[in-house]
Amino acid sequence: MTSGPVPPSPLRTPEQRFTALPDFPFEPRYHTLAHAAGSLRMAYIDEGPRDAPVVLMLHGEPSWSFAYRHVIAAVAAAGYRAIAPDHIGFGRSDKLAERSDYSYAGFVNWLSDFVRALDLQNVLLLCQDWGGPIGLSTLARMPERFSAVVAANTLLPNCEAPPKGIAGWPGELIENWAAMTAAADDLPVAEIVNGVCVNALTDEEKAAYDAPFPDASYKAAVLEFPGLIPIRESMPGCAANREVWKLLESWHKPFVTAFSDSDPSTAAWAEVFRRRIPGANNRWHTTIAGAGHFVQEEQGSALAEVVLAVLSDSAN
């Protein structure tokens, strides 16, 4: 009796590519996920007291936990536990070689496994870009573990007309981004991040964003992520997101938006979150000045102030 083909082993970025990262002295930790190839190693940063309230910081495309370095430092210094995982395919986490290895549900399953394995409780979810759909979907599976949400330049696509969604979804910007990455076989990661910042990244910061990807073979997740955005009602994720919205419409714990002033790709979603989620009522929402899409990169201190204010309010 012959067995089927053995799935290829995941790729692992050599650790030497992560030396001398600017303002990122944190030691990585690793969680092992079950996978057809045997296992996957999911990297994460975990700073601050083990028994303190948790801030779970979720990155998006095509970044990694490095983007949250200033938020991590501020949250841990204030006495809270700062946890910032790298999604599979990003950062120090293992990379699957084929674009078909990645799915919307797969990312949610991996994060759900991570939250359960670390038994995270009393969690403030801080989510940007794809961190929103993945993190809010995980929250919907286990709302009892989460105490608050700070949504920063993120979205939860549902292909619904206003007031439940945004007008003109997905719009030319996202349509073009999904089409471009679908046809690409490589992407200049650091230049993409730099291109949607208000202020230019330094050469050292650019090198840090490129560090996880020695060559194009490591970038299957980077290339596939944009194509997973539900821009059509028939796409995987759209129906699932509508179920997440149902949960959020009964969410009365704090939900605060902290979008930047220069991110046209997500700006309209802030109002949808504030309109639909009861926990967003009578909250101090803010617009952070001087940042493009990666608000945690350009205005990490300002974003950390919002997070710490929510934590302080929740404790009173």
Domain 26-315 has CATH 3.40.50.1820: yes
Percent of the chain's residues with pLDDT above 70: 97
Catalytic residue among 59, 129, 185, 252: 129
**Residue 293 appears among annotated catalytic residues:** yes
Name the catalytic one among 86, 185, 293, 313: 293
Is 263 a catalytic site residue? yes
CA dihedral 283, 174, 133, 252 (to 10 degrees): 20
Where residue 5 falls among pLDDT bands split at 50, 70, 90? low
Query: What was the pLDDT predicted at 1?
Result: 41
Question: What is each CA distance from 9 to 36, 75, 96, 276, in whole angstroms?
Answer: 9, 36, 8, 43
Name the amino acid, one letter, at 107: F
Per-residue pLDDT reduced to its tens digit, 24-69: 999 999 999 988 777 999 999 999 999 999 999 999 999 999 999 9
46 DSSP β-pair partners? 83
3-state secondary structure of 93: coil
Per-residue pLDDT tens for 174-212? Answer: 999 999 999 999 999 999 999 999 999 999 999 999 999
Which residue in 46, 94, 101, 263 is the catalytic one? Answer: 263
CA distances for 106 relative to 57, 225, 236, angstroms: 19, 11, 11
In whole numbers, what is the pLDDT of the chain averaged over residues? 95
